[in-house]
Structures are given as C-alpha cells and as structure tokens.
Amino acid sequence: MRAIPGKAGWLTVEYEVVIGLEIHAELATRSKIYCGCTTEFGGEPNTHCCPICTGMPGVLPVLNKTVVEYAVKAGLATNCTISSFSKQDRKNYFYPDLPKAFQTSQYDLPLCVNGYLEIEVDGKVKKVGITRIHIEEDAGKLIHDESDKSTFIDYNRCGVPLIEIVTEPDMCSSAEVKAFFEELKTILEYTSVSDCKMQEGSLRADVNLSVRPKGKKEFGTRTEMKNLNSVRAIVRAVDEESRRQITVLEQNGVIVQETRRWDDEEGKSYSMRGKEEAHDYRYFPEPDLTPIVVDEAWLDKIRSSIPELPGDRKKRYMTEYGIPVYDASLITGSKPLSDFFEAAANESKNVKVISNWIMGDVMKKLNDTGLEPSDIPFKPENLSKLVSLIDENVISGKIAKQVFELMWETGEDPADIVEKKGLKVVTDTDAIRSVIIQVISANPKSVEDYKSGKTKAMGFLVGQIMRETKGKAEPQTVNRLLQEELDKL
C-alpha cells in the first residue's frame, strides 16, 4: 500500500501512469503552408491572410516546399524513417476559426514514422518512441467577448504550417515527460525547424494519460488535455491528472475517455467533451494536392543541412573541454546559450574558465533579469577578452566581477572599461610600498599584534591596503612588500 500523491489516503494497489504526447510545433517558414501569406506573429487581425488560407471556395492550395524540408529535418533529427511517398488528407470538422470546415493534415501516410528520442531521468536512460510526425495547417483564433455576446475572428494564424509529433505511450512520470519535451524542444531549436516560442503558441502539447495497476498488461482508459503551453503547465497537468485518475479508481469509479481542459491557474482540469474518434472526421485524400515524394537526392540534401545536435554537442563539451556533465547539459540545453559559449570558447585558451563564467555570473544575471540567453547584452568575444585580462594579470579576479557588471550594463569591450575606469592591477612597487607605509602607521595596534605572534593581524593589514588601492594592488606584491616592511620594524 502507498499513499496517494498529494491527497490523504492509502492505495489498495500500486498504480503505474502511462503517458503519450501529441506536440504541435509551428514551423519557422516565412510563408504559410499553401499560400504566400506571412507567418509573422501578431499584426492587426486579418491582415496576414488571403482567399486561400481562409478557405474561400474555388481556390487552389500549393504546398510550400520548405514545410516538407523542415518536417523531414525534424524527422531525421528524431531518428524517424522518412516516407518516400506520403499524402495529405482532409480532416473534416466545422469550426468558426476554420471557415473551410476542414483542416488539411496527413492521415494514414504521414511524412515521418518510427522515431525515438533518448531521455535521462535520475541517471536512467530510456528510449521514448515517436510514432509519427506529420504536417498540417494551423487554425485561426476566436475571441469571445462576454460583455456584448459577440465573437471576434482573427485568421492570421490560419494556414501557418505545423508539424504534429505523436509519441508512443512510453512515458510514466512528469519527470520523463519534462525530459522528453525539453529534449525535443532543443532539437527543434538546433535544427531551426521552429522558434519554439511557447508564449506565442509556437510549441504546445496535448497530454494523453491513463493509469493501470502495476504489472497489468492492458492500458487503462485515457484522457486527453489539449494545448498546454508551458513546461510547468505540462508537469502540473500530468501530476494532477495522475492523482485524479487514481483517486477515481480507488473509489471504484470509472475513467471516461474524454478531452479535458487544463486550468493552470486553478491547477485543475475540467471535462470538455467526449473524445472524438478518427471516423468522426471523415478523413479523405486531399484532392487539390498531389502526393509528397521525397527521393534519395532530396533526402541527402536535407540530411546534410542538419547541424550538430545537442546530444552530440554535450558529449563533445565533456570529452574535448572536460566540462562536467551537469554544466554541459545546461549549456547545450539552450541553443543561443550554447552558441554564445562556442563563440567565446573559440576565442579563448581557457575554455573551462569560460564555461565557469557562463554557469556562474551569466546564468545568475539571466535569472535575476528574466532575460533569455539570446538577449545577453555583450558579445561572446568580450567574455573571452575578460578572461584573458585576468589570465594576463591586467585585472584581478575581483575587479573582473566589476568589469562584468559594466559589460552587462553597457555592452562595451572589457579592455575599454578597464582603461576608462582605471581598473588595471597596480604592480608599481613604489606606489604600493607608499600605501603600505601609510597603512602601517595608521594601524599601530595591528602591527603590535602581529609582532606579538598574532599572524591574523597580517590579513587585516592586507585588507586595509587592498581597500586603499580599491582592490587594484597586485596581491602577491602586496604580501611581499608588507612582509618586508613589517620585518624592518
């Protein structure tokens, strides 16, 4: 027996959670899937559309070739088999934001099949199967105005190309779902297939979840929660739905196969509608579009355009640069951050130190300011320059922190900042010695303490000297000269 997560009570049996995801990613093409309209986010309502994407009668759609290339790229990067022959189908349903009353999608012959991604949770590596990836079009948007009982329609997103990635029901916890989703997101970012801006709806997930007594072969009845648009919401929805289903079963209830709406503010889901089956959509082959044929030559060309993927980069950082696995995962987990690191590392002899700056000061700044890695306000080569300034003993490590702050504020070259603010290490022995003599005469008590064997007093004097020189005196020289002066007394 085990406690029900999050709720008081004891379970009669142990349960296992089963999760499969359907993920929609907007492709980063400039134009829509069947017309030349822009895919740009925002814009005045209904300014990014035409008779084709709004589905006026008598128009002829033409498939955007880049859509196929991006979808194939995503398929190759997720270990899928690419179909040399696939087709597009009509999925019929009426919805006011889809005036043509059907969505062009792919049904029985999707572009990519049988892929997988490897995830790692608590040190355990697991393969999560990808059933298929198909291309389809996005719908428009409805805004219901309760105050005057009217509904506004914006067709700007209508016809924006999407890929739908469907996984096998291979995940069994929110941690696994998070790991899979983040891995997939990074891959889509690295391949530039999607900008993955979740706040703009470019990437969203449907969570299919069921529970079953541990050891039982058959799956339980699943529910589906649609359009979750943050990792946090996905994780919370998985945890809460697992708990809800287990509670229902424990009270001898039955799980209804249905679509549920996740309310992230309340942390609860609500029943929306019974689940529709494929036959409800009356799929049929799209008569206005020819089948998609991907031959070997095209496939090779697309394959060769795939850059180094995050997993490979991570391994390279560890073997080539000796960066710990945690740091390597974190840096490669974001393409802009990883690119920033690479650019800084390329200019530097001290790659490990560059990664330490990224893991420490840069990450802290990003967290404090809420900025994204793509917004780092200085150039990567300026970070390498900062590290060289320390290596070459032009500035101390402590002063470097000040310079870093100023780089973040102004984006200026660290060498210029050091010059302008006069932050160079002082190695001039005469200058340092005169400060030492001054500090010694101002602190007779400490000098006496030191002479009577209290060696700690030396540290205090060093501190005073560093304060007088605003941290710029070179520490070794300070120690050496102070010792000399004290010995003279």
Check if the beta carbon of residue 471 is closer than 8 Å to that of residue 399.
yes
What residues from 19 to 58 belong to the interface with Mg ion (CB under 5 A)? 22
Min separation Cβ 213 and ligand ADP, Å:
14
Q: Which residue has 């700056």 as its token pair?
A: 357
Min separation Cβ 139 and Zn ion, Å:
13
- Interface with ligand ADP (CB under 6 A), residue from 16, 22, 182, 339: 22
The answer to whether the Cα torsion of 44, 45, 51, 52 is positive or negative is positive
- Segment lying near Zn ion (by CB under 5 A), choices 34-42, 200-208, 271-279, 355-363: 34-42
Q: Which two tokens mark 367?
A: 């967290």
272 binds ligand ADP (CB under 6 A): no
What residues from 325 to 344 belong to the interface with Zn ion (CB under 5 A)? none
Nearer to ligand ADP (CB atom), residue 103 or residue 464: 103
Nearer to Mg ion (CB atom), residue 22 or residue 468: 22
Distance CA 381, CA 383 (A): 5
DSSP code at position 324: -
Under 8 Å CB-to-CB from 124, ≥6 apart: which residues? none
Min separation Cβ 107 and ligand ADP, Å:
10
Q: What is the 3-state secondary structure (H, E, C) of 148-171?
A: CCEEEEECCCCCCEEEEEEECCCE
For the chain, percent helix, then strand, then coil, each to nearest 5?
Answer: 40, 20, 35
- Segment lying near ligand ADP (by CB under 6 A), choices 18-26, 117-125, 335-343, 407-415: 18-26
412 binds ligand ADP (CB under 6 A): no
45 binds ligand ADP (CB under 6 A): no
- Interface with ligand ADP (CB under 6 A), residue from 93, 152, 219, 284: 219
Nearer to Mg ion (CB atom), residue 24 or residue 87: 24
Element (H, E) at 284: strand 284-285
What residues from 164 to 203 belong to the interface with ligand ADP (CB under 6 A)? 166-169
What's the number of CA atoms in the CB half-sphere (13 Å) around residue 281? 18
What residues from 7 to 26 belong to the interface with Mg ion (CB under 5 A)? 22
What's the number of CA atoms in the CB half-sphere (13 Å) around residue 9? 16
Distance CA 371, CA 377 (A): 10
Give the residue ranges of DSSP H helices in 358-396.
Answer: 363-369, 380-391
- Segment lying near ligand ADP (by CB under 6 A), choices 55-63, 90-98, 145-153, 163-171: 163-171
Distance CA 66, CA 191 (A): 13
209 binds ligand ADP (CB under 6 A): yes
Min separation Cβ 208 and Mg ion, Å:
6
Q: Which residue has its beta carbon closest to ligand ADP?
A: 20
Residue type, 24: H
- Judged by the rule CB under 5 A, the positions of this chain that interact with Zn ion are 35, 37, 50, 52-53
- Which residues are at the interface with Mg ion (CB under 5 A)? 22
Binding site for ligand ADP (CB under 6 A): 18-22, 166-169, 208-210, 219, 222, 224
